[in-house]
Amino acid sequence: MTKQEVTYQAAGVDTAEGARAVDAIKETVHSTYRPEVVGDIGGFGGLFSIAAAKDMAEPLLVSGTDGVGTKLKVAQLAGKHGTVGIDLVAMCVNDILACGAEPLFFLDYIAIGKLRKEHVAEVVAGIGEGCRQAGCALIGGEMAEHPGVMDPDDYDLSGFTVGVVDKPKMLDPESVSEGDVLIGLASSGLHSNGYSLARKVCVEGKSREELLTPVEALDGQSVADALLTPTRIYVKQVLGTLKACPGAVRALAHITGGGISENLNRALNERVDAQVDLGTWPVPAVAKYVCDAAELSEPQALKTFNMGVGMILIVDPARAEEVEAALAEAGEKTYRVGRIVSGTGEVQYTGEGNLYGYQG
């Protein structure tokens, strides 16, 4: 019996297409480079100089890793892949920003059923855009083809970032005091959290045509476009404010999975509570649309989605206007959403029943 050669390509992995995909993303990668980047993509490791840390009193490296979750399923159903890379970067860099760190570089991991350079280039274009928005360099990554494990059109994303902060300037929940002001920064929508619920009530059973049809309750957007609105990246605005207003910001909370209820408490110490005033900021149409479809109560909505607030700064009350002015100068719309009171590290609410009652 004659044996027949079985190549890697015959088994479902096309290394030549992988090389073409790398060539297709080089321009995107180069567009994110900072002066500290050493070498180019294609090596076994990304190189980055940390010489700038010499000017810090006590430099600390800060790392963060995350993915995009089931928001990717919406992108795959809609056939729109250009923004999920922004989400990937945002979820990582906004996390490390919470301690005041500047993200320096980013690496991604793309697992895909069948590698096609055009598809990968579209996803990586979003990652590059996210890195440019955050001011960090995309210095490497991995594209892994998984035939037999993933469907040909299926893919998953994960990534991580490394940043640096000078320890004496680091934001610290221990510095939060009674009387401090809560300043909220607007989200762009659901960001990248709560999508298992959003898909269940707004996507499942719908055709691509239905997902792409404009909906009046979404201000004329389609369900797909509203759900695929990319996560906001707050890095440059917040870092600029920290530099312009040294010592004014005590702590910061990135409002991700678990909503305000289960993220703002992470920026508190055990001597205080955060008192949040409902109705003091606008809730995006997509958040109300999903919550209405799921018939979520206010408490459940506030512990599932960001409900329009992507980040909350805890600020010295004597300098709140100074911080708001700096954020406005950076292009941010801010909202006074509450205050710090004596307590035990919990989040509480005033104005129950008024979550959707913002008057502008």
Query: Strand ranges (DSSP E) for the chain?
Result: 37-38, 47-48, 59-67, 102-112, 137-145, 155-166, 181-186, 249-254, 272-277, 309-315, 334-342, 347-350
User: Tokens at residue 323, please?
Assistant: 């911080």
Asked whether the whole model's pTM tops 0.85, one would answer yes
Angle (deg, nearest 10), helices 235-244 and 320-329? 130
CA atoms of 320 and 15, how far apart (whole Å):
55
Give the bridge partners for 67, in sequence order.
Answer: 158
The fold for domain 8-169 equals 60s Ribosomal Protein L30; Chain: A; (3.30.1330)
CA atoms of 313 and 306, how far apart (whole Å):
14
User: What residue type is 38 in one-letter code?
Assistant: V
Integer CA distances (angstroms), 111 to 24, 52, 114, 115, 199, in order: 17, 34, 9, 9, 22
Query: Strand ranges (DSSP E) for 155-271?
Result: 155-166, 181-186, 249-254
Give me the half-sphere count of Cα atoms (radius 13 Å) on the Cβ side of residue 114. 6
Domain with CATH 3.30.1330.10 in the chain: 8-169
In the CATH scheme, what architecture does the domain 173-350 have?
Alpha-Beta Complex (3.90)
Provide the total of helices (H) and of strands (E) in the chain, helices listed first.
11, 12
CA atoms of 348 and 10, how far apart (whole Å):
59
CA-atom Rg of the chain in angstroms: 22
Per-residue pLDDT of the chain (360 residues; tens, 9 = 90+): 567 777 767 777 777 777 776 777 888 989 999 999 998 887 889 999 998 899 999 999 999 999 999 999 999 999 999 999 999 999 999 999 999 999 999 999 999 998 888 888 899 999 999 999 999 999 999 988 898 888 988 999 999 999 999 999 999 999 999 999 999 999 999 999 999 999 999 999 999 999 999 999 999 999 999 999 999 999 999 999 999 999 999 999 999 999 999 999 999 999 999 999 999 999 999 999 999 999 999 999 999 999 999 999 999 999 999 999 999 999 999 999 999 999 999 999 999 999 999 988
CA angle 149, 128, 52 (to 5 degrees): 120
Q: Please identify which residue in the block is written with the tokens 């506030």.
A: 302
Contact predicate 93/134, CB 8 Å = yes
Domain with CATH 3.90.650.10 in the chain: 173-350
**How big is the chain, counted in residues?**
360
> 274: helix, coil or strand?
strand
